[in-house]
Structure 1
Amino acid sequence: MVRENFDIHFIIEKFPAILSALPVTLEITAVTLVLGWLLGLLVAWGKVSGSGWLKKFLRILTDIIRGIPTVVLLYIVYFGLPKLINVSNWSKISFVVLALMIELGTTSSEMFRSAYNSIQKGQLEAAHALGYTEIQKFFHIIVPQGLAVILPNLGSAVLSIIRATALVYTLGIFDILGKARQLDTNVSHVKTFEMYFSVAIIYWALAVLIQFIFSRLEKQMRKESVQ
């Protein structure tokens, strides 16, 4: 193998092009988080309030999804769903979001279930005695207390989804990794390290930003709980 010097000038030149694909990564992440957490809440509700057979089914489903690597789940959805329904109008991003949503929804359901179980039942009973509706109990008791419990895990979930989006290039989607690979191909793969190094910088910056945001949120919630 011929030794190549690290080319910082190439990184500076191509970095804006890689960064131009960041909206794709952020779009997939944002949509997946919203839909995945909504699914997680529904699954958690089923685990807490559902019938015996439903609870057992959801536990088994969660265990199955947890055991499947993300890339395998992505391929199952991408290649398997067209055999079941008509998805001719679906974009590749839709398949990615669905796969990541399924993974996030089932895994985050345990997080939501644990948060709900951490709430003292006496508070819910007191709220019921005071005439609170289920919606009022949800927003005034369950959400504030549950959020304090799961906030660190929410931050970890965001980071996990951001990292998982790196797999979408395997479907030909030009996220930041896909864009970097395209640029590397254009120069006959002689700047592969520089391309991956650039992508690593972007992912690292996103991780630092997410950790900072959730750290501030945790401090704010602790401050409010003391008051």
Structure 2
Amino acid sequence: MEKLLDIGFLIESFPVIIQRLPMTVGIAVGAMVLGLLIGLATALIKIYQVPVLKTISSCYVSFIRGTPLLVQIYLVFYGIPKVIYYFQYEKGWLLSLDVNVIAPEIYALLAFSINLGAYLSETIRSAIESVDRGQFEAAKAIGMSPTQMMLKIIFPQALAVAIPNLGNMFISTIKDTSLVFIIGVIDIMGQAKILGSRGLVFFEVYIAVSIIYWIVCIIVERLLVKIEKRARRYERGVAS
């Protein structure tokens, strides 16, 4: 009689799946860093109403928010090599670049960064605009340059407002990395699928991978709570 749940196989699958955890976390962290840079640039373009770039950034945000992440991953994975080939053979550029040696992890990182940049831009923009306008005027009154004003006054206060949303986006990104297996990246979800297919024991490996995702997200959530508390203390210090 077939077992409902093979506990032994379930326990044995944990260390095998966890081996690929650095890949999952690495893509999520890398995408978050690049996404923050893209999001910050896009947010500042909208805030300062930069001609032409404002329209481009609005179209970018609208497109990303209006299309599934899965489609975006495919567009990056199949589109970038096509663009590179075009410039190589039609324009004679990028001849030293071989798309065949570009690891699928790079495409995954780019896709997630582009996706996060669009969503984070709105989070960053709203956080910056939530800072009291008097802070801007006070910084100008004491002779601060726009860069100094942003780095020393505005960004620290905006960060305290944005951290909860940034944390939620990061946790969602960790879970969304389960999609990267479709382009050949072996993360914890990909490892679970491979392991399960060997003996057609999918139920156990999916339980294992879900527990791993759950634990990782709990740890990240606890760290974010501590970061938010520190940011709030800094915000009160600036306000006083």
Note the 1:43-82 alignment, pairs <5 A.
Answer: 43-82=42-81
Aligned residues: 224
Gaps of at least 5 residues in structure 2 are 86-98
Match of 2:88 in 1: none
> Contact (CA 8 Å) 2:135, 2:154: kept in 1 or not?
no
SS in 2 for 1:131: coil
TM-score norm. by structure 1 comes to 0.92
Match of 2:91 in 1: none
- Hey, what's the Cα distance between the residues in 1 that align with 2:196 and 2:2? 17
- Hey, what's the Cα distance between the residues in 2 that align with 1:3 and 1:48? 62
Equivalent position to 1:103, from 87, 90, 115: 115
Note the 1:22-37 alignment, pairs <5 A.
Answer: 22-37=21-36
TM-score norm. by structure 2 comes to 0.88
Gaps of at least 5 residues in structure 1 are none
**Counterpart code for 1:222:** R
Match of 2:168 in 1: 156
Q: Deviations over 1:163-188 (max 9, x none)?
A: 1110011112111011111111221x
Aligned-residue RMSD, C-alpha: 1.6
Match of 1:204 in 2: 214
Q: Deviations over 1:11-40 (max 9, x none)?
A: 111210100010111111111111111010
The alpha carbon displacement at 1:159 in A equals: 0.8
SS in 1 for 2:84: coil
- Hey, what's the Cα distance between the residues in 1 that align with 2:235 and 2:113? 32
Structure 1 stretch displaced more, 126-135 or 96-105:
126-135
- Hey, what's the Cα distance between the residues in 1 that align with 2:46 and 2:84? 28
Q: Deviations over 1:177-207 (max 9, x none)?
A: 11111111221x1x21100000000110111
- Hey, what's the Cα distance between the residues in 1 that align with 2:197 and 2:72? 27
**Counterpart code for 1:207:** C
Q: Deviations over 1:52-93 (max 9, x none)?
A: 443233222211110111111101111122111143331101
SS in 2 for 1:4: coil
**Does the alignment pair 1:184 with 2:196?**
yes
SS in 2 for 1:88: helix
Q: Percent identity?
A: 38
- Hey, what's the Cα distance between the residues in 1 that align with 2:83 and 2:236? 53
- Hey, what's the Cα distance between the residues in 2 that align with 1:226 and 1:141? 12
- Hey, what's the Cα distance between the residues in 2 that align with 1:180 and 1:52? 48
Match of 2:90 in 1: none
Structure 1 residues 58 and 225 mapped into 2: Cα distance closer, same or farther (>3 Å)?
closer
